[in-house]
Amino acid sequence: MIRDRFTAWRILGAVLVLAAALAAPQVLTSAVAQNLAILSLLYAVVASNWDLTLGYAGIFNFAHVAFFGIGSYVAAISTLQFDLPVWWDLVLAVAVVMVVGAIVSALALRLRGIYVALVTFALTQLCVALINSQKDLTGGPVGLIGVPDLQIGDFAFGSDPRSYFYAAEILLIASTIAMRWLATSNFGLSLVALRDYENYAVSRGIPARRQRVLAIVISSIPTSLAGCLYAHYLIVASPDVFSFSLTTLLLTMVLVGGAGTIYGPILAAFVLTVGTEELSSLGNFRYMIVAALIVLTLRFLPGGIWSLRRWRRPAAPAPLSVALDEKGAP
């Protein structure tokens, strides 16, 4: 009975969320509110997928910022420089980012700890160097301006900003459903096992490097699509997408929201995107506030703001060995 009631509440919650998603573009009519909402949705996609590798797999990497930027530039270059039809650039961006993600993760995951973070952060810096050195193709430090709108038939998304609102919502909902399925699958359990009990997981036959590479490659797909939408929506691709400030903001969304949770980084994406915009009058001082927020969260709320939903002590989770026995090792 209790389980049925819990399931009913979850279904009701999902229906309310979908209803709010449909109503939001009609309610938020001002250009500023719609812009913040679209950016929040796209950042939420990046942060939640970054969390699959950082929170669930325990891989401290910075590659997702590069995946987001590469997706943005593939959309811009393929449509502006090679006249590739819009929508096809999304397919190309996913393919390019998956290949880059597989190569970088296969190389980086030969290392451990801080060296993984350094190698993946170097990918971001390499992208910036390539963009600045290939001005004819990438526009250099200025970037590429005039990325065409997404279109369906004769309808251009730019003629109605609510179109990008709905597109970003669809991407976030699809990404979240996929994340939820992955987190509870054998694959998700194997990532948690490798994070918490690597020796035991490997002794059970879980291939550590393969699972971690797959985690990065899979999570790169929605991230690259978010980068494409970002370029089409803003009609520009610039090196700012690889900036340290954006990297810090996205990482803050994961840590403050709650690493290893599905909805925490999504919630934090909305709070921090709106919050940093409201603090824009403070200039760079707002980033000091964000940094202080990270420190305070890690010190006093290590589970992130999502852990505040637990009003009572949760039941102790089943031992990992039991979970793996029930689900079966991959």
Instruction: Give pLDDT tens digits along the chain (330 positions).
Output: 556 666 777 777 778 877 887 888 888 878 888 899 999 999 999 999 998 888 898 888 888 899 999 999 999 999 998 988 888 889 999 999 999 999 988 888 887 777 888 888 888 889 999 999 988 888 888 889 989 988 888 888 888 878 999 999 999 999 999 998 998 899 999 999 999 888 888 888 889 889 999 999 999 999 999 999 999 999 999 998 998 888 888 988 888 888 888 889 999 999 888 888 877 777 777 777 777 877 887 778 877 888 777 655 554 444 444 455 555 444
What pLDDT, on the 0 to 100 scale, is given for residue 2? 56
Backbone angles phi, psi at 215, to 5 degrees: -60, -45
What pLDDT, on the 0 to 100 scale, is given for residue 315? 47
What pLDDT, on the 0 to 100 scale, is given for residue 318? 47
Per the document, the length of the chain is 330
75, 228 in Cβ contact below 8 A?
yes
160, 253 in Cβ contact below 8 A?
no
Compute the distance between CA of residue 5 and CA of residue 9 in angstroms, rounded to an integer: 6
56, 260 in Cβ contact below 8 A?
yes
What pLDDT, on the 0 to 100 scale, is given for residue 325? 53
CA-wise closest residue to 127 among 108, 92, 101 = 101
216, 101 in Cβ contact below 8 A?
yes
CA angle 198, 199, 201 (to 5 degrees): 65
Compute the distance between CA of residue 53 and CA of residue 36 in angstroms, rounded to an integer: 26
**CA torsion sign, 191 to 193 to 195 to 198?**
negative
